[in-house]
Chains A and B, each alone.
Chain A
Amino acid sequence: MTVNGPGDHPRSLFEAPPGTGNGPAALLRVHGLRAGYGPARVLHGVDLELAAGEMVAVLGPNGAGKTTMLRALSGLVRGRGSVLLDGTELLGRAPEEIVRLGVAHVPEGRGLFAPLTVEENLRIGAHLRPAAERAEDMRRVLAWFPVLRAHLSQPAGSLSGGEQQMLAVGRALMTRPRLLLLDEPSRGLAPVATRRMFDVLRAVGSHDRVAMLLVEQDARLALEFTSRALVMESGRLTVGGPAGWPQAGRRPSLFRPGR
């Protein structure tokens, strides 16, 4: 039995709320995305729409395919189906080309350059940007994450886990993305730093109109800060709706459709 046939749920649950993700305003349109590793299929047809400036959380149990979905969107895993960013097909492109189209991915394990200094990590994030704007972008990122300023000439690998997470997000923001993919941005962060991180993400999202898709284990946090939450289960986005619809604090598993 299928758990997510279009007939099982109101179609609107898979789409952005009216006025944000629907229609020509959608920045990202994912349709029937399938992906896997060798013979092991992980994603079984993901549909998703994301508007510019919208922040959407993907919840769900371990192994459901949340990370694989982000990896397929950024080109690290080969995907099939269709992923349109502002009308441009992303599938089949190399990760470095997808970045150049405006998609930044902060992967699990952070994707930093451990032997390079904090400043060098940020400079690499900005290497595709016009030289004249890099200094201003650097100033912006250091204003968002002031703790990094004290460690600019230190190797990234010597930072604490939480600082590395901030640096990884900062590195991604230095590319000035239109779409930011975040794999557990709160991991390794103390509660206060986590809220700070989400405050920054929300500010960037609304100010720069950056769309964000974030995988998060902390459902309460995700539902508080995002505009919508989706639940990934067994390689499909099984349910979604405006954040707050699944009440903050309740486990997302309670909202699985009955099998």
Chain B
Amino acid sequence: MAGLLLQIVQGLSLGAVYAGLALALVLVHRFNGIVNFAQGELAMLSAYVAWQLLDAGLPFWAALPVTLAVSLVGGMLVERSIIRRVEGDRELAPVAVTVGLMVFVNAAAGLVWSFAVRSFPNPFPAALSFGSAQSGFSALGVLGVVAVMMLLLHAFFRHTGAGLIMRAVAADPVAARLSGVRVGRVLGLGWGLAAAVGAIAGILVAPLLFLEPNMMGGVLVYAFAAAVVGGFRDPVAAVVAGLGLGVAETLAGTYVAFVGADLKVIVPLLVIVAVLVLRRGPAGTAGTAGQW
């Protein structure tokens, strides 16, 4: 019974990471209608930035805000320099650009930091570690950080002027322009926020998966599945789906004999197929608007 509980907590913490990256995908899609295939690689890049800061001797809780700031600015620069050229293009150009960005960032990270696997310090104190309880404690830490991030995001969108303007742009960019909103800057800020949210997912998952340029590949598949459940528009559905996927994956890997560790990845793929079939329409047509 205690084993099951631990499995669920671990599943939730893994799910929190998926939820974080899924939230980043939803953020980008809500603001400029683009599915960002490079979201995972940007998160990986952020994890490397954090690792570099830690390597330079910064304590974790100082490196985290610096990394988030770097990711925010970096995401805005990527949008303003590259992505805006394909915004509004309903065809394949945005897909090609973000896939290209994904490959480029992956290769660039390999060039700079090599593809060697590095360990990443676990930020959560192991003080309570006795037996399996240590991993349970760190799982709760991951859950807590993601929960705080989501609350901050919610507060930003609900209770600040900038958040209101961002929601207006997400609701109707043309009407926002007619109210004098400089929509381009808002789209850039959307990418920056998404990059920062993804950075948290990357930093939290790095101690579990170890740091290497390909570490986010699997996470991105789960995040995609979670975002698809929310139609790439509904952040709450994406977060709930991310948590559920984490638990389902962990439990299936442990208790369903033929799934095991190797076949776990079929769980998110089944979710994607099931959602798309049941919705009978392209992702993004369903989902509720305006929720943050």
* Cβ < 8 Å to B, chain A residues 82-128: 94-96, 99-100, 104-105, 107, 111-116, 120, 123-125, 127-128
A68 within 8 A of B: no
- Are A112 and B181 touching (Cβ within 8 A)? no
Q: B237 → chain A, closest Cβ, in Å?
A: 15
The listed residue (A99, A104, A115, A175) touching B290 by CB distance below 8 A is A115
* Cβ < 8 Å to A, chain B residues 155-213: 161, 164-165, 167-168, 171-172, 174-183
Do most interface residues of chain B lie in helix, strand or loop, or is the interface mixed? Answer: helix
Assuming the contacts A76-B174, A123-B164, asked whether A115 and B289 have C-beta atoms less than 8 A apart, the reply is yes
The listed residue (A94, A115, A125) touching B179 by CB distance below 8 A is A125
Q: How far is the CA of A113 from the CA of B175 in the complex (A)?
A: 7
Q: How far is the CA of A111 from the CA of B178 in the complex (A)?
A: 8
Closest B residue to A100 by beta carbon equals B180
The listed residue (A94, A113, A171) touching B177 by CB distance below 8 A is A94
Q: B177 → chain A, closest Cβ, in Å?
A: 4
Q: B284 → chain A, closest Cβ, in Å?
A: 16
Q: How far is the CA of A100 from the CA of B182 in the complex (A)?
A: 10
Q: How many residues on chain B are close to A (CB under 8 Å)?
A: 20
Q: B228 → chain A, closest Cβ, in Å?
A: 21
Q: How far is the CA of A53 from the CA of B94 in the complex (A)?
A: 46
| B179 proximity list for chain A (CB < 8 A) | 99, 124-125, 127, 171, 175
- Are A114 and B178 touching (Cβ within 8 A)? no
Q: A106 → chain B, closest Cβ, in Å?
A: 8
- Are A175 and B180 touching (Cβ within 8 A)? yes
Q: How far is the CA of A120 from the CA of B164 in the complex (A)?
A: 7
Q: A228 → chain B, closest Cβ, in Å?
A: 25
* Cβ < 8 Å to A, chain B residues 95-145: none
Closest A residue to B171 by beta carbon equals A113
Q: How far is the CA of A120 from the CA of B290 in the complex (A)?
A: 12
Q: How far is the CA of A116 from the CA of B290 in the complex (A)?
A: 7
- Are A124 and B178 touching (Cβ within 8 A)? no
Q: A206 → chain B, closest Cβ, in Å?
A: 24
- Are B177 and A96 touching (Cβ within 8 A)? yes
Q: How far is the CA of A111 from the CA of B168 in the complex (A)?
A: 11
| A100 proximity list for chain B (CB < 8 A) | 180
| A226 proximity list for chain B (CB < 8 A) | none
Assuming the contacts A115-B290, A120-B164, asked whether A127 and B180 have C-beta atoms less than 8 A apart, the reply is yes
Q: Can you list 25 A-B contacts (CB < 8 A)?
A: A76-B174, A76-B178, A94-B177, A95-B177, A96-B180, A96-B181, A96-B183, A99-B177, A99-B178, A99-B180, A104-B178, A107-B174, A107-B175, A111-B174, A111-B175, A111-B178, A113-B176, A114-B172, A115-B171, A116-B164, A116-B168, A123-B164, A124-B168, A124-B179, A127-B180
